Chains A and B, each alone.
Chain A
């Protein structure tokens, strides 16, 4: 097993040297590998058995079957190869993910011929199987389990295909110049103290009454659905968001110094948790890290900014 790993490691380093990381890769003969599968080997054994049958019974039709199968084995190489050759794969931007969860690396496959049953995966990860129709770009999301916050480079992508007969497997390794941002894993913990008053914490779970809003504001991405003024929308005023009383009065801060008992990573995880929690409650909050401070705000953009700061804390120079 260990030896196996060492060999795989060597192959990988060879591949890394051979193929520079790119944004777009076209599969050609110097990238495609092809070998018989175990099933293909079993098939050859059956061909051999049929040959024995033909020889012993001097049966020319059995010879014909034997040679037909053998000849088909050769043709299958070409067909399997053709199912991968000429495929264009380009890396697309990938949505950030949380550490401990799957990031979905996105690729666009494009080919001038129909291609069937292409399997993409990172090693030890789930397989994504797609069919590509000629000249119709096909997007595929390949899962990768992220274990560390920060920028995660794309590992080697393994693409393979058994189509049409499964006698052969054609495959290739792809190296893409592609990174995904990994947020710290959200971990429940730590109480959140409002910087203005002790009752701020209680407020944030408060449920808003239906008609207690103060003003209408234009819609912004990430606004909670139940705060959208549907009545106003129905009257033709466009999408408006109800602004609740008290929402902005208490300033909530995710403060680096709030949990002195935790380690750096634990703190980041806690803050990540609270950032998610608060944004799902649509409560404005701010972020205070030793080197950066974000004013309290609300919405997807703010949220992403906060998480990015958390992800890259201590990493970005």
Chain B
């Protein structure tokens, strides 16, 4: 079927476009491939590109072989060392670069184009932002421009023609693409993919030593987003998001106990439950976010642990959606505490001053609640909340409670849990997030990494686990105010560039508003595009009721057929040629005369003068008018503008009207008989 297709050589403009295409497609992946490959890629493309413009010495065959061998060895070493996508992408890029070295025929060009398509798709595995999607669209346009240049004539001079053409074809393809995107069934992965991309950033860690969270406090990255069924967020002081609980303590370090999967809760008909949906950002960890205190089980795929936290079945590398319910008033279900000793465990020595303080409480015979309020009183009096406290070492709790007296949530949680355990109250530390920014445009709440927080839960007999937030005792505004507002003046909060913008936002309300809108756009993007496979079946059911093959086929073929017939109509349509106003008049006269007799119509090759003469012979009574009319026609059509009178057109048109009137009044039958 195809003939001699591979033999045709590539023109230099095709090569130029192929180079542009490669640069455009490779550019976004530079961050993920080794630097040496980027350098080689750019220099090879530059070499070939310059070689197109001016004569360069040919790379000797040995030089070429050296480059090929070097790149192959390098990439193989790199790809075997790095798991997953970076290896794949560098393999593709290296392959295309080697192809560039022998870019001669159209077939070579095709190989490059196909690899470029694949590289463009692989790029989305690294970056799925809106900007990346727009860039991807642009690079596809360039890829197909290169393809068009390969198949068009060499002498087509206009540089932008291929770009325009390829954009047109892509635009015409969009409707079918959208429909396929909507209805193509999203199947589960065929084999499991282990890949670590750049998501290893996380807010929290699986253990707590004072200091960890201070680093986190500076990251402005999104941790997760939440929307509520009622579209109304809980008040600031209720925005506690549990992630994990630390119940093991070794003297300096709090860590997680292995928790079993949660108790099947009896569905007590609780009212005032908050129903919410979470979109978790990829974290490379399994932990998820639960509004304090979770009630019932979350949506399938998410486990609920015994300590009231959520876990994903596998590490979260893609955005994860789930639904859950929360009971903000956290009513006690009457169950007894299991493994009480775990929550009372502290090392037998260390921190003598704290021990002394606790002993004093015991001697005074304080109840559990009184002990807590005694501690709170201390915090209230002398302590201050800061993001950059002094370093602690040795008897850390003693140092914190009695000398430095400053710190952030971790320090307070650490000291509180330690003291209360000494005092015989079962305690655990809860790590999670406090706060969240409500986005009024898309009605969801964004929780950022710097909103990470740590607090304490104590077991009070008859009340169950009760949340205690010592930070609230020291700095109640930490709970009631958004974090960024609270710290916008603190130099340590400002330290990082990405946070400088929050400072700016305090000064410029419009900037904040704009940022909210931007994040709202991102949210919709994540929910409807990147997470489409999560919502597809629900969405289609909402739209079309019960899904059936027939409906899907109709949905596919009716719009696609409509679009394609529109496209083919556009393509086959002959361009409209504007007919001169005077010529239209000639056509009208000819049509009028054709009404009298078909032989009187003007022939295609007949001049206006010749035509009017012919008519004069047949219909002598029109002679004067016709001569006037045709003379005026000639004058207007063929003389330079300075010889034209202003109202010529008017005169000409009125002449034409009169002429047609006279033609109509002619005795048709007379002429009809004369010519037939």
Closest B residue to A164 using CB positions: B148
For A52-66 the 0/1 string (1 means CB < 8 A from B) is 111111111111111
In the assembled complex, B575 has its CB within 8 A of some CB on chain A:
yes
A164 touches B172 (CB 8 A): no
**Pair B151/A71 contact, Cβ less than 8 Å:** no
Tell me whether A117 and B1 are in contact (CB under 8 A). Answer: no
CB distance from B553 to the nearest CB of A (A): 16
**Residue among A35, A42, A68, A113 with most chain B CB within 10 A:** A68
Complex CA distance for A229 and B602, rounded to whole angstroms: 49
Residue of A with least CB distance to B111: A42
Is the beta-carbon distance between A38 and B2 smaller than 8 angstroms? yes
A106 interface hit (Cβ, 8 Å) = no
CA distance A59 to B530 in the complex (A): 7
Contacting pair B144 A72 (CB below 8 A): yes
Q: Are A64 and B152 in contact (CB under 8 A)?
A: no
Q: Which residues on A sit within 8 Å (CB–CB) of B140?
A: 65, 68
Flag the segment in A78-86, A92-100, A238-246, A276-284 that touches B. A78-86
The answer, yes or no, to whether B436 is at the interface (CB within 8 Å) is no
> Once the chains bind, are B529 and A67 in contact (CB under 8 Å)?
no
Which B residues are in CB contact (< 8 Å) with A39? 2, 5, 107, 110
Check: A200 CB closer than 8 A to any chain B CB: no
Q: Does the CB pair B147–A78 fall under 8 Å?
A: no
Q: Does B125 contact A (CB under 8 A)?
A: yes
Contacts of A117 in B (CB 8 A): 151-153
Q: Is the CB of B121 within 8 A of A65?
A: yes
B148 to chain A: closest residue by CB: A164
Interface window among B179-187, B232-240, B345-353, B585-593:
B179-187
How far, in Å, is B577 (CB) from chain A's closest CB?
8
* A157 nearest CB across to chain B (Å): 14
Query: For window 20-35 of chain B, which residues contact chain A by CB distance below 8 Å?
Result: none
Beta-carbon contact of A57 and B530 below 8 Å: no
Roughly how many angstroms separate A113 CA and B133 CA in the complex, as a whole number?
A: 35
Q: Are B2 and A72 touching (Cβ within 8 A)?
A: no
B5 A62 Cβ-Cβ under 8 A: no
**How many residues on A have C-beta within 8 angstroms of the other chain's C-beta atoms?**
54
Interchain CB contact under 8 A, A67 and B151: no
User: Is A162 in contact with chain B by the CB < 8 A criterion?
Assistant: yes
Interchain CB contact under 8 A, B118 and A49: yes
Q: How far is the CA of A129 from the CA of B5 in the complex (A)?
A: 13
Query: What B residues does A169 contact at CB under 8 A?
Result: 1-2
Smallest CB gap from A42: residue in B? B114
B568 contacts the other chain (CB 8 A): yes
A-contact 0/1 string along B572-614, CB 8 Å cutoff: 1011000000000000000000000000000000000000000
- Known contacts: A72-B144, A166-B150. The answer to whether A67 contacts B181 by CB under 8 A is yes
Q: Is the CB of B2 within 8 A of A131?
A: no
Q: Is the CB of A61 within 8 A of B574?
A: no
A122 at the interface (CB under 8 A from B): no
List B contacts of A52 (CB < 8 A).
190
* A164 smallest CB distance to B (angstroms): 5
Q: List the B side residues contacting A192 at CB < 8 Å.
A: none
In Å, the complex CA distance between A76 and B574 comes to: 19
Interface centre among B121, B180, B190, B574 (most CB of A within 10 A): B121
Contact, CB under 8 Å: A61 / B144: no
Known: A67-B177, A68-B173, A112-B574. A59 touches B124 (CB 8 A): yes
Give A46 to B116 CA distance when docked, in angstroms: 10
User: Residue B318 at the A interface, CB < 8 A?
Assistant: yes
Chain B CB within 8 A of A289 CB: no
- B508 proximity list for chain A (CB < 8 A): none
Interchain pairs with CB closer than 8 A, number: 173
Sort chain B's interface into a size bin. Answer: 35 or more
Among A39, A74, A86, A165, residue most surrounded by chain B Cβ atoms (within 10 Å): A39
In the complex, what residues of B have CB within 8 A of residue A38's CB?
A: 2, 5
Q: Are B151 and A165 in contact (CB-based, < 8 A)?
A: yes
Q: How far is the CA of A59 from the CA of B121 in the complex (A)?
A: 10
Interface residue ranges of B146-195 to A (CB < 8 Å): 147-148, 150-153, 156, 165, 169-170, 172-177, 180-181, 184, 186-187, 189-191, 193, 195
Distance between Cα atoms of A52 and B190 in the complex (Å): 8
Nearest-CB residue, chain B, relative to A78: B568
B120 is an interface residue with CB less than 8 A from chain A: yes
Distance A134 CA – B531 CA, assembled complex (angstroms): 48
Within B531-582, the residues touching A (CB, 8 Å) are 531-533, 560, 564, 567-568, 571-572, 574-575
Residue A223 interfacial (CB < 8 Å): no
Residue pair B125, A37 in contact (C-beta under 8 Å): no
The CA of A72 and the CA of B170, in the complex, are separated in Å by 6
CB within 8 Å of B: which A209-258 residues: none
Rounded to whole angstroms, the CA-CA distance of A273 and B381 in the bound complex is 124
Q: What is the chain B residue whose CB lies nearest that of A112?
A: B574
Q: Knowing A42-B114, A62-B121, A65-B136 touch, does A37 contact B5 (C-beta < 8 A)?
A: yes
> Does A69 lie at the interface of the complex (its beta carbon under 8 Å from any beta carbon of B)?
yes
Which residues of B have CB within 8 Å of A46? 114, 117-118
A10 to nearest B CB, angstroms? 16
Decide: A82 and B572 in contact? CB cutoff 8 A: yes
CA A54 to CA B189, docked complex, whole Å:
9
Interface check A75, CB cutoff 8 A:
yes
Q: How far is the CB of B321 from chain A (nearest CB, A)?
A: 12
Cα of A85 to Cα of B569 in the assembled complex, Å: 12
Query: Are B153 and A165 interface neighbours, CB within 8 A?
Result: no
Q: Does A50 contact B (CB under 8 A)?
A: yes
Q: How far in angstroms is the closest Cβ of chain A from B475?
A: 42
- Are A70 and B151 in contact, with the CB atoms below 8 A? no
Chain B 186-227 against A: per-residue CB contact (8 Å), 1 yes, 0 no?
110111010100000000000000000000000000000000
Cβ contact within 8 Å between A166 and B533: no
CB pair A37 B2 closer than 8 Å:
yes
CB-based contact B575/A113 at 8 Å: yes
Residues of B88-131 whose CB lies within 8 A of A: 106-107, 110, 114, 117-118, 120-122, 124-125, 128
Inter-chain contact A50/B180, CB cutoff 8 Å? no
CA distance A59 to B85 in the complex (A): 13
Is A21 engaged at the interface, CB distance under 8 Å to the other chain?
A: no
| Chain B residues in 8 Å Cβ range of A113 | 572, 574-575
Instruction: Report A117 CB to chain B, min CB distance, Å.
Output: 6
CA–CA, A74 and B180, complex, Å: 12
- Cα–Cα, bound, A131→B117 (Å): 29
Q: A57-B125, A76-B169 are in contact. Are A163 and B152 (CB under 8 A)?
A: yes
Tell me if A112 and B114 are in contact (CB < 8 A).
no
Partner of B125, one of A43, A53, A64, A163: A53
Are the CB atoms of A58 and B533 closer together than 8 Å? yes
Chain B residue, CB-CB nearest to A135: B577
Is residue A193 within 8 Å, beta carbon to beta carbon, of the partner chain?
no
* Residue among B122, B176, B177 facing the most chain A CB atoms (10 A cut-off): B177
Q: Say yes or no: B169 contacts A165, CB within 8 Å.
A: yes
Contact sample, A vs B, 15 pairs, CB 8 Å cutoff: A57-B193, A58-B189, A59-B128, A60-B128, A61-B136, A70-B176, A71-B174, A71-B177, A72-B144, A72-B173, A75-B173, A82-B572, A131-B153, A160-B3, A166-B110
Nearest 7 A-B pairs (CB), nearest first? A82-B571, A71-B176, A61-B124, A112-B574, A71-B173, A67-B180, A71-B177
Taking A65-B136, A82-B568, A112-B574 as given, write out 12 further A-B residue pairs in contact, using a Cβ cutoff of 8 Å, ordered by the A residue number. Answer: A57-B195, A61-B529, A62-B124, A62-B125, A71-B177, A72-B144, A116-B153, A117-B151, A134-B575, A160-B3, A164-B169, A165-B151
Binding site for B on A (CB under 8 A): 35, 37-39, 42-43, 46, 49-50, 52-72, 74-76, 78-79, 81-82, 85-86, 112-113, 116-117, 127, 129, 131, 134, 160, 162-166, 169
